[in-house]
Copies of this chain bind each other. A is one copy, B any other.
Amino acid sequence: MGLSLSKLAVKFGCDLLGNPETQVTHAATLLSAQKGAISFFSNPSYKEQLISSKASAVVIANAHVDICKTNALISDDPYLTFSKIVALLNPPASMSAGIDKNVSISGDIDISKSAYIGPFCRISGNVKIGRNTYIGPGCIIEGDVEIGDNSKLIANVTLVNKISLGKRAIIHPGAVIGSDGFGNVKTEKGWFKIPQIGGVTIGDDVEIGANTTVDRGSLDNTELENGVRLDNLIQIGHNVSIGEHTAVAASAAIAGSAIIGKRCLIAGQVGIVGHIEICDDVRVNGGSVVTKNILEPGIYSGSFAADKDKVWKKLVGKFRRL
Protein backbone atom coordinates (compact mmCIF):
# COMPACT_ATOMS: atom_id res chain seq x y z
CA MET A 1 0.00 0.00 0.00
CA GLY A 2 2.99 2.32 -0.41
CA LEU A 3 3.58 5.08 -2.89
CA SER A 4 6.55 5.15 -5.24
CA LEU A 5 8.92 8.08 -5.20
CA SER A 6 8.43 8.51 -8.93
CA LYS A 7 4.71 8.97 -8.44
CA LEU A 8 5.27 11.51 -5.66
CA ALA A 9 7.84 13.36 -7.79
CA VAL A 10 5.31 13.76 -10.57
CA LYS A 11 2.46 14.70 -8.25
CA PHE A 12 4.39 17.41 -6.44
CA GLY A 13 6.68 18.55 -9.29
CA CYS A 14 9.89 17.50 -7.59
CA ASP A 15 13.18 16.36 -9.04
CA LEU A 16 14.12 12.91 -7.81
CA LEU A 17 17.47 11.58 -6.65
CA GLY A 18 18.08 7.86 -6.21
CA ASN A 19 15.76 4.96 -6.95
CA PRO A 20 12.42 6.06 -8.39
CA GLU A 21 10.88 2.68 -7.48
CA THR A 22 11.43 3.26 -3.75
CA GLN A 23 8.19 2.66 -1.90
CA VAL A 24 7.22 4.84 1.05
CA THR A 25 4.44 3.70 3.35
CA HIS A 26 4.45 6.27 6.11
CA ALA A 27 5.96 9.53 7.30
CA ALA A 28 8.40 9.95 10.16
CA THR A 29 11.01 12.28 11.60
CA LEU A 30 14.61 11.73 10.52
CA LEU A 31 15.37 10.31 13.95
CA SER A 32 12.57 7.79 14.26
CA ALA A 33 12.34 6.82 10.58
CA GLN A 34 12.72 3.16 9.62
CA LYS A 35 12.58 1.43 6.25
CA GLY A 36 9.54 2.55 4.32
CA ALA A 37 9.45 5.99 5.89
CA ILE A 38 9.68 9.29 4.12
CA SER A 39 11.09 12.19 6.10
CA PHE A 40 12.15 15.78 5.46
CA PHE A 41 15.16 18.00 6.04
CA SER A 42 15.01 21.76 6.25
CA ASN A 43 16.84 22.87 9.40
CA PRO A 44 20.64 22.56 8.85
CA SER A 45 21.20 21.98 12.58
CA TYR A 46 19.72 18.50 12.11
CA LYS A 47 22.44 17.55 9.61
CA GLU A 48 23.67 14.64 11.75
CA GLN A 49 20.16 13.24 11.91
CA LEU A 50 19.91 13.40 8.13
CA ILE A 51 23.15 11.52 7.69
CA SER A 52 22.25 8.73 10.11
CA SER A 53 18.55 8.53 9.26
CA LYS A 54 17.11 5.21 8.16
CA ALA A 55 14.38 6.89 6.13
CA SER A 56 13.85 5.36 2.69
CA ALA A 57 13.47 8.83 1.25
CA VAL A 58 13.77 12.45 2.26
CA VAL A 59 12.23 15.67 0.97
CA ILE A 60 15.02 18.21 0.78
CA ALA A 61 15.96 21.54 -0.80
CA ASN A 62 18.40 21.58 -3.66
CA ALA A 63 20.91 23.47 -1.53
CA HIS A 64 21.24 20.53 0.87
CA VAL A 65 21.32 17.69 -1.62
CA ASP A 66 25.06 17.17 -1.32
CA ILE A 67 24.79 15.95 2.28
CA CYS A 68 21.92 13.59 1.53
CA LYS A 69 22.83 9.92 1.21
CA THR A 70 19.42 8.44 0.62
CA ASN A 71 16.71 8.75 -1.99
CA ALA A 72 15.35 12.25 -2.20
CA LEU A 73 12.63 14.45 -3.57
CA ILE A 74 13.91 17.95 -4.22
CA SER A 75 11.57 20.78 -3.35
CA ASP A 76 11.73 24.54 -2.96
CA ASP A 77 9.71 24.17 0.23
CA PRO A 78 10.54 20.74 1.66
CA TYR A 79 8.31 21.13 4.72
CA LEU A 80 5.26 22.03 2.65
CA THR A 81 5.85 19.24 0.16
CA PHE A 82 6.47 16.78 2.96
CA SER A 83 3.27 17.92 4.71
CA LYS A 84 1.32 17.30 1.52
CA ILE A 85 2.81 13.81 1.28
CA VAL A 86 1.86 13.17 4.93
CA ALA A 87 -1.69 14.19 4.06
CA LEU A 88 -1.66 11.83 1.06
CA LEU A 89 -0.39 8.95 3.20
CA ASN A 90 -2.93 9.66 5.95
CA PRO A 91 -6.27 10.32 4.31
CA PRO A 92 -9.08 11.23 6.70
CA ALA A 93 -11.05 8.23 7.93
CA SER A 94 -14.09 7.66 5.77
CA MET A 95 -17.22 8.95 7.39
CA SER A 96 -20.52 7.16 7.46
CA ALA A 97 -23.39 9.56 7.01
CA GLY A 98 -26.40 9.54 9.26
CA ILE A 99 -27.70 10.49 12.65
CA ASP A 100 -26.79 8.32 15.62
CA LYS A 101 -29.74 6.96 17.56
CA ASN A 102 -28.53 8.62 20.77
CA VAL A 103 -29.09 12.15 19.49
CA SER A 104 -31.54 14.71 20.86
CA ILE A 105 -33.04 16.97 18.23
CA SER A 106 -35.73 19.59 18.53
CA GLY A 107 -36.80 22.67 16.64
CA ASP A 108 -36.37 23.58 13.00
CA ILE A 109 -33.44 21.42 11.98
CA ASP A 110 -32.08 20.91 8.47
CA ILE A 111 -29.32 18.31 8.39
CA SER A 112 -27.82 17.23 5.07
CA LYS A 113 -28.27 13.55 4.33
CA SER A 114 -24.55 13.25 3.84
CA ALA A 115 -23.76 14.68 7.27
CA TYR A 116 -22.95 12.63 10.36
CA ILE A 117 -24.23 13.38 13.85
CA GLY A 118 -22.56 11.39 16.62
CA PRO A 119 -23.96 10.03 19.86
CA PHE A 120 -25.06 12.34 22.66
CA CYS A 121 -25.26 15.39 20.44
CA ARG A 122 -27.96 17.89 21.27
CA ILE A 123 -29.22 19.97 18.36
CA SER A 124 -32.01 22.43 18.90
CA GLY A 125 -33.32 25.73 17.64
CA ASN A 126 -32.95 26.75 14.03
CA VAL A 127 -29.99 24.72 12.86
CA LYS A 128 -28.68 23.95 9.39
CA ILE A 129 -25.84 21.48 8.86
CA GLY A 130 -24.18 21.20 5.45
CA ARG A 131 -23.10 18.34 3.26
CA ASN A 132 -20.47 15.87 4.46
CA THR A 133 -20.20 17.73 7.70
CA TYR A 134 -19.14 15.67 10.70
CA ILE A 135 -20.53 16.43 14.14
CA GLY A 136 -18.63 14.22 16.58
CA PRO A 137 -19.96 12.84 19.86
CA GLY A 138 -21.16 15.07 22.65
CA CYS A 139 -21.53 18.26 20.62
CA ILE A 140 -24.15 20.81 21.61
CA ILE A 141 -25.62 23.05 18.93
CA GLU A 142 -28.36 25.32 20.18
CA GLY A 143 -29.81 28.48 18.69
CA ASP A 144 -29.65 29.92 15.19
CA VAL A 145 -26.69 28.01 13.87
CA GLU A 146 -25.57 27.30 10.32
CA ILE A 147 -22.60 25.04 9.60
CA GLY A 148 -21.20 24.83 6.07
CA ASP A 149 -20.24 21.80 4.01
CA ASN A 150 -17.32 19.53 4.83
CA SER A 151 -16.82 20.91 8.29
CA LYS A 152 -15.78 18.85 11.27
CA LEU A 153 -16.61 19.30 14.93
CA ILE A 154 -14.36 16.64 16.43
CA ALA A 155 -16.18 16.04 19.73
CA ASN A 156 -17.64 17.86 22.72
CA VAL A 157 -17.87 21.20 20.91
CA THR A 158 -20.46 23.72 22.09
CA LEU A 159 -22.06 26.17 19.66
CA VAL A 160 -24.74 28.38 21.16
CA ASN A 161 -26.89 31.34 20.19
CA LYS A 162 -26.24 32.79 16.72
CA ILE A 163 -23.45 31.28 14.69
CA SER A 164 -22.60 31.11 11.05
CA LEU A 165 -19.72 28.71 10.49
CA GLY A 166 -18.28 28.29 7.00
CA LYS A 167 -17.04 25.38 4.94
CA ARG A 168 -14.21 23.02 5.82
CA ALA A 169 -14.02 24.24 9.42
CA ILE A 170 -12.26 22.07 11.99
CA ILE A 171 -13.32 22.66 15.59
CA HIS A 172 -11.48 20.76 18.28
CA PRO A 173 -12.89 19.33 21.51
CA GLY A 174 -13.95 21.60 24.30
CA ALA A 175 -14.18 24.71 22.12
CA VAL A 176 -17.08 26.98 23.04
CA ILE A 177 -18.40 29.36 20.40
CA GLY A 178 -21.14 31.90 20.86
CA SER A 179 -21.39 32.17 24.62
CA ASP A 180 -22.00 35.57 26.20
CA GLY A 181 -19.31 38.23 26.11
CA PHE A 182 -18.18 39.81 29.37
CA GLY A 183 -20.36 42.89 29.48
CA ASN A 184 -21.23 44.53 32.77
CA VAL A 185 -22.13 48.07 33.77
CA LYS A 186 -21.42 49.26 37.25
CA THR A 187 -24.40 50.32 39.34
CA GLU A 188 -24.78 51.15 42.99
CA LYS A 189 -26.06 47.63 43.62
CA GLY A 190 -23.25 45.85 41.81
CA TRP A 191 -22.95 44.82 38.17
CA PHE A 192 -25.80 45.02 35.69
CA LYS A 193 -25.34 42.38 33.01
CA ILE A 194 -25.41 43.89 29.54
CA PRO A 195 -27.51 41.58 27.39
CA GLN A 196 -25.36 39.95 24.74
CA ILE A 197 -27.44 39.64 21.60
CA GLY A 198 -24.90 39.46 18.76
CA GLY A 199 -23.59 36.34 17.11
CA VAL A 200 -20.39 34.89 15.68
CA THR A 201 -19.59 34.88 11.96
CA ILE A 202 -16.87 32.47 10.91
CA GLY A 203 -15.58 32.16 7.34
CA ASP A 204 -14.33 29.12 5.42
CA ASP A 205 -11.27 27.02 6.23
CA VAL A 206 -11.10 28.12 9.83
CA GLU A 207 -9.59 25.90 12.53
CA ILE A 208 -10.33 26.42 16.22
CA GLY A 209 -8.32 24.64 18.92
CA ALA A 210 -9.27 22.65 21.97
CA ASN A 211 -10.94 24.56 24.84
CA THR A 212 -10.74 27.85 22.95
CA THR A 213 -13.62 30.27 23.55
CA VAL A 214 -15.10 32.67 21.01
CA ASP A 215 -17.73 34.96 22.53
CA ARG A 216 -20.80 36.17 20.70
CA GLY A 217 -20.95 39.86 19.93
CA SER A 218 -22.66 42.29 22.22
CA LEU A 219 -24.83 43.90 19.52
CA ASP A 220 -23.03 43.18 16.22
CA ASN A 221 -21.16 39.95 15.52
CA THR A 222 -17.75 38.64 16.47
CA GLU A 223 -15.94 37.75 13.22
CA LEU A 224 -13.30 35.29 12.12
CA GLU A 225 -12.53 35.62 8.42
CA ASN A 226 -11.54 32.88 5.98
CA GLY A 227 -8.50 30.83 6.84
CA VAL A 228 -8.10 31.99 10.43
CA ARG A 229 -6.27 29.48 12.65
CA LEU A 230 -6.74 29.48 16.39
CA ASP A 231 -4.73 27.20 18.66
CA ASN A 232 -5.91 25.89 22.07
CA LEU A 233 -7.13 27.78 25.15
CA ILE A 234 -7.48 31.12 23.39
CA GLN A 235 -9.98 33.75 24.46
CA ILE A 236 -11.68 35.76 21.74
CA GLY A 237 -13.82 38.47 23.32
CA HIS A 238 -17.08 39.87 22.02
CA ASN A 239 -16.99 41.83 18.78
CA VAL A 240 -13.41 40.95 18.05
CA SER A 241 -12.67 40.79 14.33
CA ILE A 242 -9.79 38.70 12.96
CA GLY A 243 -8.73 39.04 9.34
CA GLU A 244 -8.06 36.36 6.75
CA HIS A 245 -5.29 33.86 7.33
CA THR A 246 -4.29 35.25 10.70
CA ALA A 247 -2.98 32.60 13.09
CA VAL A 248 -3.16 32.87 16.88
CA ALA A 249 -1.12 30.56 19.11
CA ALA A 250 -2.18 28.96 22.37
CA SER A 251 -3.29 30.81 25.47
CA ALA A 252 -3.51 34.21 23.79
CA ALA A 253 -6.34 36.45 24.95
CA ILE A 254 -7.94 39.04 22.71
CA ALA A 255 -10.23 41.45 24.50
CA GLY A 256 -13.53 42.78 23.26
CA SER A 257 -13.81 44.81 20.04
CA ALA A 258 -10.15 44.43 19.10
CA ILE A 259 -9.69 44.39 15.32
CA ILE A 260 -6.85 42.29 13.95
CA GLY A 261 -5.81 42.40 10.31
CA LYS A 262 -5.02 39.75 7.75
CA ARG A 263 -2.03 37.40 7.75
CA CYS A 264 -1.01 38.33 11.28
CA LEU A 265 0.82 35.97 13.61
CA ILE A 266 -0.15 36.33 17.24
CA ALA A 267 2.16 34.17 19.35
CA GLY A 268 1.40 32.24 22.50
CA GLN A 269 0.14 34.00 25.65
CA VAL A 270 -0.08 37.35 23.89
CA GLY A 271 -2.67 39.68 25.38
CA ILE A 272 -4.46 42.22 23.20
CA VAL A 273 -6.37 45.00 24.91
CA GLY A 274 -9.92 45.75 23.86
CA HIS A 275 -11.00 48.33 21.26
CA ILE A 276 -7.62 48.56 19.53
CA GLU A 277 -6.65 47.89 15.96
CA ILE A 278 -3.80 45.84 14.52
CA CYS A 279 -3.14 46.21 10.80
CA ASP A 280 -2.37 43.45 8.31
CA ASP A 281 0.90 41.50 8.37
CA VAL A 282 1.82 42.09 11.99
CA ARG A 283 3.68 39.55 14.07
CA VAL A 284 3.42 39.83 17.85
CA ASN A 285 5.95 37.78 19.78
CA GLY A 286 5.10 35.51 22.69
CA GLY A 287 3.92 36.89 26.00
CA SER A 288 3.58 40.48 24.76
CA VAL A 289 0.77 42.76 25.87
CA VAL A 290 -0.52 44.96 23.06
CA THR A 291 -2.11 48.09 24.51
CA LYS A 292 -2.20 50.48 21.55
CA ASN A 293 -3.09 50.41 17.87
CA ILE A 294 -0.47 48.88 15.61
CA LEU A 295 -0.78 50.60 12.26
CA GLU A 296 2.46 49.51 10.62
CA PRO A 297 3.24 45.93 9.53
CA GLY A 298 6.22 44.32 11.23
CA ILE A 299 7.34 42.48 14.31
CA TYR A 300 6.36 43.61 17.80
CA SER A 301 7.58 42.41 21.18
CA GLY A 302 7.10 43.18 24.83
CA SER A 303 8.27 40.30 27.00
CA PHE A 304 11.50 39.53 28.84
CA ALA A 305 13.37 36.25 28.61
CA ALA A 306 13.60 34.39 31.90
CA ASP A 307 17.03 34.35 33.51
CA LYS A 308 18.68 32.85 36.57
CA ASP A 309 16.70 34.07 39.51
CA LYS A 310 19.68 35.82 41.12
CA VAL A 311 20.57 37.65 37.91
CA TRP A 312 16.95 38.58 37.33
CA LYS A 313 16.44 39.85 40.88
CA LYS A 314 19.49 42.12 40.55
CA LEU A 315 18.21 43.52 37.27
CA VAL A 316 14.78 44.13 38.71
CA GLY A 317 16.39 45.83 41.72
CA LYS A 318 18.30 48.17 39.41
CA PHE A 319 15.19 48.80 37.37
CA ARG A 320 13.32 49.82 40.51
CA ARG A 321 16.08 52.26 41.41
CA LEU A 322 16.18 53.86 37.95
Interface positions of A (Cβ within 8 A of B): 27-29, 31-32, 77, 79-80, 83-84, 86-87, 90, 100, 102, 104, 118-120, 122, 124, 136-138, 140, 142, 154-156, 158, 160, 170, 172-174, 176, 179-180, 182-185, 187, 190-195, 197, 205, 207, 209-211, 213, 215, 219-220, 226-227, 229, 231-233, 235, 237, 244-245, 247, 249-251, 253, 255, 268-269, 271, 273, 284-292, 294, 296, 298-309, 312-313, 315-316, 318-320, 322
Contacts and interface: CB of A to CB of B under 8 A. Distances in A.
Given A219-B27, A255-B268, A309-B298, A190 B227 contact: yes
Contacts of A247: 182, 184, 191
Contact of A269 (B237, B253, B304): B253
A289 B303 contact: yes
Contacts of A183: 83
Contacts of A122: 118-120, 137-138, 155
A224 B249 CA distance: 21
A143 B205 CA distance: 24
Nearest to A271: B269
Contact of A271 (B190, B195, B268, B273): B268
Given A86-B219, A301-B312, 12 more contacts: A32-B219, A83-B183, A83-B185, A83-B195, A154-B179, A193-B207, A210-B213, A210-B215, A299-B309, A301-B308, A315-B320, A315-B322
A318 to B, nearest CB: 4
Contact of A160 (B155, B195, B249): B155
Contacts of A197: 27, 86, 90
